[in-house]
Structure 1
Amino acid sequence: MTQIKLRRLTVDTSENITRYYVRLPGKPKIRIYGEPGSEEFMQAYRDAIAGDRSVLIERPAPATFAARTFGRAVLDYYTSTSFQQLGESRKRSRRLILNKLVDSAGKDPVKLITKAVIQKGMDRRATTPAAANEFLKSMRAVLDYLVSVDELEANPAKLVKYNSIKTDGFHIWTIDEVARFVEHHGLGSKAVLALALLLFTGQRRGDVIKMGPQHVKDGSMRLRRGKNGESGSIPILPPLQAVIDASEIGHLTYLITAFGKPFSDAGIGNWFRDRCDEADLPHCSAHGLRKAGATIAADLGASDEQLMALFGWRSRRQVSTYTRGANQKKLAHEAGSRIAAALKMNGIVPLSGTVESQRDKPTKKGNEIKR
């Protein structure tokens, strides 16, 4: 960080962001933009000292943006509305990615960020495709911000494609596995309470650990999801209410540790992992319950809008992970039924889906009928 000392100039460093302000007696503080010591910075400082508050409400004209560095652009993005609207966990993960990029390329001019540069960044992360996608998502967000303030005419990151990741990820619980877990731990146990909250609300474990009686009104739970900051109302379905009523719950959160404190995100994951092992379900996990709920709902015909409302997704691309399998199953069944119907029309009974046993049903061979 560049050290600079000027009259009435103060430095505010928080959340790994350094901001400079001029404080004049009896007046609101004035934010100073630009690289400390640069002509842009010094001119803004002189205007502020002279009492010119235009420096507070006007960013540099588009013509000066070409000289902006990527590091400066990232810092300004952190103060943008689009970033502030993210959930806290998403903010933290995005800062980790962007701060590392600033360390290595923070002094590069924004005008040098091209499709080719971003594609090279993706290529360098080819061995970790998920991390590459997060890199691209973060770059798209920063460059979208630059487009919104007229620094760029178009977002070159949108010309780069995400990696296609083919993985089953976390195991999706089956109905039988849910039954085995409940049978092993029993109604009224903390383990079954955790399972019911995860399964019936469709929320991430980091949101489930925050749920408590104070969030419920008129049979629904109101919450703000930590990952994307999305607000939503989740119905407390009768099966979930029955489990809550049968369980010992905390005062502010339903789930509490053995010490009477709310769980941490990592803590609930490790604790639930142990409960799965105890039920002889070592391949199951908390996250797998969220996927199970989405899969079951999709298989039973839940619409994209219904899944988005329950699980807090913002795009249909997220929904398609679950509806794709359900639609494939439905379409395959319909196609198979058509084949069976066509065979039946042509008298090919054994392959037409008849429910009668072929041993009990007369069969036709040539011009004879055998029993």
Structure 2
Amino acid sequence: MRQVRVKGFKIFSDRHGKMRCYHRKTGHKIDLQKAPLGSAEFFAECETIRAITEAQKAKAPKAGTLGELIKSYIDTEHFQNLAAATRRDYRRCADFLEPIKDTPVHVIDTPLVSGIHDKAAEKIGWRRANMVRTLLSEVFRYNIPKGLIMSNYAKDVIPKRRPRGKTYANRPWSIEEQEVVLSHAKPHVRVALALMMNTGLDPSDALKLRKDQIDGNTIWGVRGKTGEEIAIPISPTLQAALNRIPEHEAETVLGNSRGEAWTYNGFSTVWHRFKTALEKEELIASGLTLKGLRHTVATTLREAGLDERRIADLLGQKTPSMARHYSRSANLADKNRETMATLEKEIERRTKTVKPSAKSVKPDQNEDKA
């Protein structure tokens, strides 16, 4: 057999005497059964591997560019530990930034990032533009210690505000809407909705909740998105709903009509069809979402007078600011009315207790004459 050599490829005989071939840089193996060594098929396969390698090399971010910074951040353990939905959103933002990935690091500054932010708002909307800003802030923050960039140039870029008049997503449900939905839902759907209504669990966390996470009258777990621990007492209302769960063999608390664990997409599909049918019958208004139940719990607690820290602890939020976000539509009119009444009473009390001072300044006589 004549010896064949191809630059960039290792061709050798293994310990069993069988010929092998692989590309040194990528490790890509060539099947010598389908493309015999030295044949036209073999050399064609070598050229294909070379072409793919060169294309990938050209696509890879260049050193000292925005693309390299983004890749460096995506390779961090911090990024890998983010919730799957957050990683997906960040990758979409990175795709938006793909056309400017070769921007040299030395030209990046706050005005440039602000311009990118403005352009993103025009192209993909204010919400995703703010996410692009957040991604860049994280990219810069994690690359500063590596010496790849000098400062976090996204930090001082002001986030875009929600357009005036635009309705909020995931609005809270009214009591009437909750009752209508529960009364019309099938048993395996009803208990899932009841679990979300009475705990504030994120839909994905509620569907993944395992039976062994319920100990006595408490739900123990970790919120998927933030990693925060949660401990939720089971109320009598929720316990009554759990007692009516159809029997199933899944390890999760909730199960679908086949007795299997729900997938998020599966439940979302069932919910959408069910909700649409109720809307057509005009039994509910449009705009109900599963995440809206989380906002409902926060709003209800806020209206009941609970502080943001306690609400955040229940929802598994790291900061009270997120609890404030979830309860932003709370109707505080009654409580604020009580607050104002208290303020007036206190002002009146202080007015009565303060006696005129003997050293008080008398009105200027000239002013009286005027």
Q: Do they fold alike, i.e. is TM over 0.5?
A: yes
Partner residue, 2:102 = 107
Partner residue, 1:337 = 341
The one-letter code of the counterpart of 1:176 is: E
Secondary structure in 2 matching 1:158 = coil
Indicate whether 1:151 and 2:155 are aligned: no
Partner residue, 1:69 = 65
1:287-323 alpha-carbon deviations (Å, 9 max, x no partner): 2211111100111122222222222222333222245
Distance 1:84 1:224 in 2: 17
Distance 1:196 1:171 in 2: 17
5+ residue gaps, structure 2: 1-6, 11-22, 29-55, 350-370
1:319-349 alpha-carbon deviations (Å, 9 max, x no partner): 222455548435531356369979x99xxxx
1:122-161 alpha-carbon deviations (Å, 9 max, x no partner): 1112341011111111111111111232333321100101
Partner residue, 2:253 = 254
Partner residue, 2:265 = 266
For residues 126 and 88 of structure 1, do their structure 2 counterparts lie closer, same or farther at Cα, with a shift above 3 Å needed? closer
Distance 2:208 2:118 in 1: 39
RMSD of the alignment, in Å? 3.3
Deviation at 1:12, TM superposition (A): 8.8
Partner residue, 2:52 = none
- State which of 75, 81, 91 in structure 1 corresponds to 2:77: 81
The one-letter code of the counterpart of 1:297 is: L
Distance 1:72 1:12 in 2: 24
On the 8 A contact 1:205/1:269 being kept in 2, the answer is no
The one-letter code of the counterpart of 2:91 is: R
1:239-267 alpha-carbon deviations (Å, 9 max, x no partner): 21221111215422233333333333233
Moved more, 141-150 or 163-172: 163-172
For residues 255 and 274 of structure 1, do their structure 2 counterparts lie closer, same or farther at Cα, with a shift above 3 Å needed? farther
The one-letter code of the counterpart of 1:113 is: I
Distance 2:162 2:27 in 1: 41
Distance 1:12 1:333 in 2: 72
For residues 209 and 10 of structure 1, do their structure 2 counterparts lie closer, same or farther at Cα, with a shift above 3 Å needed? farther
Instruction: List aligned pairs for 1:193-342, cutoff 5 A.
Output: 193-250=191-248, 251-279=250-278, 280-283=283-286, 284-326=288-330, 328-329=332-333, 332-334=336-338, 337=341
Secondary structure in 1 matching 2:220 = strand
1:86-114 alpha-carbon deviations (Å, 9 max, x no partner): 1122112212221442x312222222221
On the 8 A contact 1:308/1:319 being kept in 2, the answer is yes
5+ residue gaps, structure 1: 14-34, 38-65, 346-371
Moved more, 133-142 or 299-308: 299-308
1:173-227 alpha-carbon deviations (Å, 9 max, x no partner): 11222223333448xx223201111112212212221112122234333333333
Deviation at 1:5, TM superposition (A): 5.1
The one-letter code of the counterpart of 1:246 is: R
Secondary structure in 1 matching 2:144 = helix
Distance 1:97 1:211 in 2: 30
TM-score when scaled to structure 2?
A: 0.68
Moved more, 121-130 or 155-164: 121-130
On the 8 A contact 1:177/1:281 being kept in 2, the answer is yes
On the 8 A contact 1:232/1:309 being kept in 2, the answer is yes
Secondary structure in 1 matching 2:225 = coil
- State which of 87, 92, 97 in structure 2 corresponds to 1:91: 87
The one-letter code of the counterpart of 2:210 is: G
The one-letter code of the counterpart of 1:206 is: S
Distance 1:178 1:324 in 2: 19
The structure whose Rg is larger is 2
For residues 108 and 305 of structure 1, do their structure 2 counterparts lie closer, same or farther at Cα, with a shift above 3 Å needed? same
On the 8 A contact 1:253/1:262 being kept in 2, the answer is yes
For residues 306 and 276 of structure 1, do their structure 2 counterparts lie closer, same or farther at Cα, with a shift above 3 Å needed? same
Secondary structure in 2 matching 1:233 = strand
The one-letter code of the counterpart of 1:237 is: S
For residues 178 and 324 of structure 1, do their structure 2 counterparts lie closer, same or farther at Cα, with a shift above 3 Å needed? closer
Instruction: List aligned pairs for 1:341-352, cutoff 5 A.
Output: none
Distance 2:63 2:155 in 1: 22
On the 8 A contact 2:211/2:252 being kept in 1, the answer is yes
Secondary structure in 2 matching 1:209 = helix
On the 8 A contact 2:188/2:257 being kept in 1, the answer is no
Distance 1:215 1:12 in 2: 45
Distance 2:290 2:192 in 1: 9
Deviation at 1:11, TM superposition (A): 4.4
1:22-55 alpha-carbon deviations (Å, 9 max, x no partner): xxxxxxxxxxxxx979xxxxxxxxxxxxxxxxxx
The one-letter code of the counterpart of 2:284 is: L
Aligned residues: 289
Indicate whether 1:117 and 2:112 are aligned: yes
Distance 2:228 2:299 in 1: 22
- State which of 157, 160, 165 in structure 2 corresponds to 1:163: 160
On the 8 A contact 2:69/2:148 being kept in 1, the answer is no
